[in-house]
Amino acid sequence: MKYPDKVERDMRLFYDSLSEKDRRRYAAIEAAKLGHGSMEYIATVLGCDPKTIRHGQHDLEVLPQDTGERVRKKGGAASRASSSSRRWRRTACECEGPTRQATRGETTSGGRT
């Protein structure tokens, strides 16, 4: 079986965006989807060595069922600044007004030149 050219192109783009470990696993999954004899085809499509796919197959066999790690931290939304404090910061910045640059012969600190 052969994928359409656009699918192969998208597979290569996705494969190139992955880390090395994820590339091996992805290649192994693609080869498994197509079945017998697909390792050479997938290796050609993705531009990798068939050994990489075999390594990925091994990675998938020993993959833990639950890593216990979260991709995102718990309570991330709660740690954001409240809307009232954001409003205060915006209002405080707007009240400062435009800053005036010193002209020749004067300083912004009020000191002598």
Asked, for residue 46, whether it belongs to a domain, the answer is yes
Q: Which structure tokens are listed for 97?
A: 């007004």
Asked, for residue 78, whether it belongs to a domain, the answer is no
Number of domains in the chain: 1
Rounded to whole angstroms, the Cα distance separating 30 from 2 reads: 12
Predicted pLDDT at 100: 59
Asked, for residue 16, whether it belongs to a domain, the answer is yes
Residue-wise pLDDT for 31-61, tens only, equals 999 988 899 999 999 999 999 999 999 999 9
Q: Which residues contact 62 (CB under 8 A, 6 or more apart)?
A: none
Rounded to whole angstroms, the Cα distance separating 72 from 13 reads: 25
Low-confidence stretches of the chain (pLDDT < 50) are none
**pTM score:** 0.58
Let me know: does 34 contact 59? Beta carbons within 8 Å.
no
Asked, for residue 30, whether it belongs to a domain, the answer is yes
Asked, for residue 15, whether it belongs to a domain, the answer is yes
How does DSSP classify residue 97?
-
Asked, for residue 104, whether it belongs to a domain, the answer is no
Domain that holds residue 21: 5-61
Predicted pLDDT at 107: 59
Let me know: does 56 contact 27? Beta carbons within 8 Å.
yes
Predicted pLDDT at 52: 95
Predicted pLDDT at 39: 94
